[in-house]
Structure 1
Amino acid sequence: MSVSLWCEEVEDDQSQDQEQNAQLKAAWDPSVSGHRVIQRLLQMEERYMPSLLYVTLIQRDPERREELAKWALEVCCDCGCDETVFPLSVSLMDRFLSASLSTPVSLYCLAASCILIASKLTECDSVTADTLCAAAEYSFQSSNLREMERVILATLRWDTAAVTSQDFLPHFLATMEETWDSERELFSTLRRHSDTLAALCVCDSRFLGAPPSLVAAAALNCALRGLGNKGSTQLAFMGEALAELCQTDVAVLQCYSEMIEYALKQRLRSGLQQGPTEKEEEVENERPGTPTDMREIDF
């Protein structure tokens, strides 16, 4: 008797939008969260950190790396990728360059290949090679993209499931939600703001050598301060709890939170270059609120 593994299931409504059919995600499972999972992620994150030599070289001349990261962000946003694709793709790019310490012929082909690998790893409906070639204005062909993909996987020895700041955010938020009985809408807003600030840190080479857990905690702390609905005492208590979760000192967390606020202020000011001088000084003196969408920041 012949056995077929071909899936012959048919949707009831063929006219349903294809995107709605593809975007099926499992609900958040509280049983896979908590301090045990956070501890495991903290143990694994050191394994996926780029080398100190690579971090030093990039921070001396960060323009090219930040240009590639911003291009990868634009491609991920235009393709409607999951929020985890962008940080993972940049992590793959940094790890590849850190291991090889050599630049490929086409850096955009490298970035596109990392997006392709990250999309395959985290999404059901991955980005196509033709879409990535079109995003790069066909500066490389699909065959070049596939070859670069094989080179990246061979260099990283197929160890592609890196730990990023996006992996820590839902666990930090779940732990905070258990500690403080707050409205669900507040934590939904905090998640959007934290995602935006974490993406900002991925694009900024100043945060390249920071552990993902510290970046996630600082982004969440900065988002809490940006909302402005908590008192100083409560913010200090939340900062101490976040520092304990990522196993760092409160002063270090505060320092990185201020770095994120400064980076955010720089991005927001870049969109006000044609505005009045008095308005720029007013924006500089006040604490910036965190936007809810990455498109509100001029990356």
Structure 2
Amino acid sequence: MAHQLTSAERDVPSLSSVWRESVQMDSSVVEPREKNDAWVVLRAGCDPAMTRDLRVLRNLREKEACGPASSYSSSSGWEQTDIQPHMRRTLTEWMLQVCEELHCEEEVFPHAVQYLDSCVARFTVERSNLQPLGTACMFLASKMRDMVPLTASKLCVYTDNSVSVPDILQWEVAVVSRLDWCLASVVPSDFLELILHALPFVQTPRRSKMRRHVHTYIALAALDSRLSVFLPSTVVCACVSLAMQRLKLLDTAACPYLVTNFLASLLAIDLSTILLCCDRLGSVVELSLPACFLNRSAVRVTGIGSSSAESLDVAQTSVRSPQEMMVKHSSPP
């Protein structure tokens, strides 16, 4: 016999109606990964209970300290008999292009690079197996981070069918076994929302622009092996500090060293370590961004606006060296 709803049960709003109201209240909830006539993916918005709780930052710091990325240097792992450090750049650039073309979440690419560096540091890899390894790392990272994970068959297309579906599945098993099934690692973008809500220097309407630029810098940092020796929390602090300088989001009374000092205190990181990371990241950005702006697709997928004014602002605004920031920090007000 069918259950008859009582008047109290009829008055309870349905889950779908509550979800539709939340979408209308926060337009950032709707962000399609792919637009066509068949389907549109809807993503959830940020939870203020998580982004405003500093205990989440402490938990992330503890997690990254014991993660695989903290126990190795990617540059040392790439100095093997059959592979060289410059091959990492070539492979990661291809991985970034694939992630961009498939509209993956921003966390997928740096997470895949973490898997890649950890695997290369732990066992010997032949040159001919670099692309299958990179493909398997993207496959795993997409499962961990994407709302709609990438399929092995789709990844095969981007290898020009040089890597088959069975190859990807076999390398997937090899990667997870080498990583001891510890796949839930921390990436720099995991700290971003918490930092943006804690920063007193950034107004709420400017967070969206700030977020896009920081994600771009995180991707550029993942491409360069010199920056992979830093913990994710240090990398995101450098990216945030650099983005605030280039976008000129600081108030007239604030200086860049105040941002760096605030981030160092917020995440309990040594200030000199952040400054060193800022120095390396600044050189990477100066060399990489002009080339990216010449490529329209790179501008589109990295999240930076395609307008020439915004690109010009980011490309030509000077970056303060860590020495200048340290001098300002040590000088009396």
Per the shorter chain, which TM-score range?
Answer: 0.7 to 0.9
CA deviations over 1:197-244 (Å, ceiling 9, x no partner) = 011000011111110100001000000011124247343322211111
Alignment match, 1:128 = 151
Deviation at 1:84, TM superposition (A): 1.0
Return the letter of the residue paired with 1:261. Answer: G
Deviation at 1:87, TM superposition (A): 0.8
Gaps of 5+ in 1: 1-14, 274-282, 290-299
CA contact (8 A) 2:69 2:118 kept: yes
TM-score after normalising by structure 1: 0.79
Classify 1:240/1:288 alpha carbon distance in 2 versus 1 (closer, same or farther; 3 Å). closer
* 1:243 aligned to which of 226, 250, 264: 264
Classify 1:102/1:174 alpha carbon distance in 2 versus 1 (closer, same or farther; 3 Å). same
CA deviations over 1:37-82 (Å, ceiling 9, x no partner) = 1111111112221644653243794211111111110000001111
- 1:67 matches 2:90: yes
- 1:260 matches 2:281: yes
Return the letter of the residue paired with 1:123. Answer: D
1:244 and 1:215 mapped to 2: Cα distance?
15
Alignment match, 2:163 = 140
CA contact (8 A) 2:74 2:228 kept: no
Classify 1:141/1:271 alpha carbon distance in 2 versus 1 (closer, same or farther; 3 Å). closer
1:86 and 1:284 mapped to 2: Cα distance?
23
2:196 and 2:280 mapped to 1: Cα distance?
21
Return the letter of the residue paired with 1:255. Answer: L
**CA-atom RMSD, angstroms?**
2.7
Classify 1:163/1:97 alpha carbon distance in 2 versus 1 (closer, same or farther; 3 Å). same
Question: How high is the sequence identity, in percent, across the aligned residues?
Answer: 25
TM-score after normalising by structure 2: 0.71
Classify 1:59/1:198 alpha carbon distance in 2 versus 1 (closer, same or farther; 3 Å). farther
Classify 1:258/1:40 alpha carbon distance in 2 versus 1 (closer, same or farther; 3 Å). same
Q: Bigger relative contact order, structure 1 or 2, given CA contacts below 8 A and separation 6+? A: 1
2:316 and 2:197 mapped to 1: Cα distance?
33
Classify 1:286/1:78 alpha carbon distance in 2 versus 1 (closer, same or farther; 3 Å). closer
Classify 1:271/1:89 alpha carbon distance in 2 versus 1 (closer, same or farther; 3 Å). closer
Partner-residue secondary structure (3-state), 2:241: helix
Larger Rg: 2
Alignment match, 2:54 = 35
Gaps of 5+ in 2: 1-34, 295-313, 321-333
* 2:140 aligned to which of 114, 117, 135: 117
Classify 1:18/1:86 alpha carbon distance in 2 versus 1 (closer, same or farther; 3 Å). farther
Query: Aligned ranges for residues 199-218 of structure 1 at < 5 Å?
Result: 199-218=219-238
CA contact (8 A) 2:73 2:229 kept: no
2:217 and 2:49 mapped to 1: Cα distance?
27
Alignment match, 1:55 = 75
Return the letter of the residue paired with 1:245. Answer: L
Alignment match, 1:11 = none
